[in-house]
Each structure stands twice: as C-alpha cells, then as structure tokens.
Amino acid sequence: MTLAVIGAGAWGTALALAAARAEQSVRLWARDGTQVQAMRETGENAKALPGVPLGSAILPTADLSEALSDAEAVLVVVPAQTLRQVLPQLAPHLAPLIPLVLCAKGIERDTGLLPSDIARETTANPLLSLSGPSFAADVGRGLPTAVVVGAQDEALAGEIARFMSSGSFRCYSNGDLRGVEAGGALKNVFALAAGAAAGAGLGASAQAALVTRGFVELRRLATRLGANPETIMGLSGLGDLLLTCSSAQSRNFAYGLALGRGESREGLKLAEGVPTAGIAAHLAVQHGIEAPIINAVTEILAGRLTIGDAVEALMTRPLKSEDI
C-alpha cells in the first residue's frame, strides 16, 4: 500500500517510520523545501526526529501532488490549529474514497471543533482518527507501542490498523471516531496540570489526585462531545492521560513543568493543550459540566490565577460525593 503522511514534524516522521516498518511505501510531505532536501540528502529528519534513518521506503517531498497522487490512504499530522489551513490544500489531489487519518490531538480554539469536524467542512472523504499513548521518539526508535484507529466505519478502521501495524506498532480499531479524537485532544490539558503540579513541587499525592479527577472531567466532557464513555477507558483517554501526565518527555507536561517552576515557556515545543484548554473550559460551561481542573489550567495559562490560588480553590470546593 502507498501512504502519504502530511506533515514531517516529530509525529509525522514517526508514523512514516511505523508505516515503513509495516512494509508500506510512504510519501512524507513537508511544506519546507529545504527540510525535504536535507532529508533526501542525509536520509534522516534532523529537524524533527534526529538520529533515526528514514530508510528507502520513505520518500520525502515538498510537492503535494507527488505526495498524494498514488496514495491509498493519507495521514494528516499537523497541529490541530493548522488543520483548517492545511486540509483544503489536499482536496484537489485526493480521489473521493481515499481515507484521511487525522492524527492531531486538539480542539480548534475559535470554534470548539474536533479535527474530524473541521475536515468534514472541506472533504467528503472517509475520516479516521489515530490516537493513543505514543511518543514520537519511542515510535521512531521502534519501541513497542499501542495506538487506536477510530472511524464510524469500524471495518475501515480495522483495515487501516492492519496496514499500519508491525511487530513494534500495534494498532487497535474502534468504531467510535469521536471518542478516539476527544480522548487525545483533552488529555493534553491534564498533562499541563500534572506538569505544573510537578514543577510547583506539590508532591506525588497531588499528581495522583489530579490525574484521577482529571480523568473524570475528561470522560464527562468527551461524552458530551459525542464519545462513548467506554472509549475513554481505553488507549485514547486513560492510556494517553497516564502517559502524558507522568513523563517530562510529554511536551504538554514539560510546558506545565516550566509553568510550575515559574520558568519562561518561550521556545518550548508544540503543546496542544495550551490552545485547547480555554475552548475546553468554554465547552464545559456550554454543556453544563463541572470542570474545575480545566478551568484552573485555563486561568493559570491566562495569568489570571497563580498555582497557589488554584490549589486553594480546588481544595476548598464544597465537599461532595465522589461522583465518577
């Protein structure tokens, strides 16, 4: 099978490597011609995932037509906030039935839309979401990783999962597209919270409380956004929450860590939870859901609340039943 990967950042490159290990032929598209030239010359993506040879099954290209003309499936791996700009560029090169696998983890800041909602505005092609606990560096090195591919048509999700899977990359399928994408989008907000708690030295007990109560908020909000609550118990939900709330390898956790330590966040890598937090807080209000941790993260990011005040506010909320 020939796959196109749109976006040669860390995750796009790692997914291209995963597909190549699954013996697929891959076109890896980047908008930056200089980066493509360097990848072709050196055989690695030094900008985004250094030290991992791309191999001969991956063809880097800056030409969308070359990337897409013979693609049988397309993985879209650019940040959530850029999907509205990138997706229409693909449309002229895509045959109608080519599946689009959306890999961004975020909610569009200005609209509250998940990636598949944004895509649906510009394409009638079948849509899928790939999500779950998976650091690009781990996948790039071929370390064992499990993810989930979601689509309304679970047979199609299964087909893509089979094409992407190898001895080191195990893809499950799920018929709940919304659940798969909502889990991945929302967990980033709690990774920010967990990082901030670690940076502020709040201790391991606070971390566990944040992750557990964060999971309750995640499941509540994701369910209101159309997810099956059982999906949130899986890889794209609980799985990704556990990974990114416990490791500074997560860029969202690392961003929170800097926030908690009172350090500058300038120059840090992409943290999708930052644009997602405020809109998630807004969606929670719209759906009448209590989301004190999402609110606290939003207020801290906006500079309207200190971490100390957030802790006090969370700890002095009225006592209640542990509604999970």
Q: Which stretch binds ligand 13P (CB under 6 A): 56-64, 225-233, 238-246, 287-295?
A: 238-246
Integer angstrom CA distances of residue 164 from 1, 101, 159, 171: 10, 11, 9, 7
Cα 46 to Cα 88: distance, rounded to the nearest angstrom = 28
Q: DSSP state, 235?
A: I
- Shortest Cβ 18–ligand NDP spacing (Å): 11
In the chain, the amino acid numbered 171 is: C
Query: Distances from the Cα of 31 to the Cαs of 23, 176, 270, in angstroms?
Result: 25, 31, 17
Nearest approach, Cβ of residue 277 and ligand 13P (Å)? 13
In this structure, what is the dihedral angle of CA atoms 297, 299, 301, 307, given to the nearest 10 degrees? -70
Give the angle 137-141-142 at the CA atoms, nearest 5°: 120
Contact 47, 35 (CB under 8 A): yes
The reply, when asked if residue 31 is annotated as ligand binding, is: yes
Q: Which of the residues 43 through 82 are near ligand NDP (CB under 6 A)?
A: 48, 77-80, 82
Residues near ligand NDP (CB under 6 A), total: 26
Stretch that binds ligand NDP, among 8-16, 53-61, 159-167, 228-236 (CB under 6 A): 8-16
Any catalytic annotation for residue 47?
A: no
Given 47, 187, 269, 320, which residue is catalytic?
A: 187
Does 163 bind ligand 13P (CB under 6 A)? Our answer is no
Hey, is 242 helix, strand or coil? helix
Instruction: Pick one of 60, 99, 106, 150: the residue that binds ligand NDP (CB under 6 A).
Output: 106
Exposure of 111 in the CB half-sphere (CA atoms within 13 A): 14
Residues making contact with ligand NDP (CB under 6 A): 7-12, 30-32, 48, 77-80, 82, 85-86, 103-106, 134-136, 270, 272
Residues tagged active-site: 187
Binding interface with ligand 13P (CB under 6 A): 105, 133-135, 188, 191, 240, 243-244, 250-252, 272
Residue set of the binding site for NADPH: 11, 31, 105, 136, 251, 270, 272
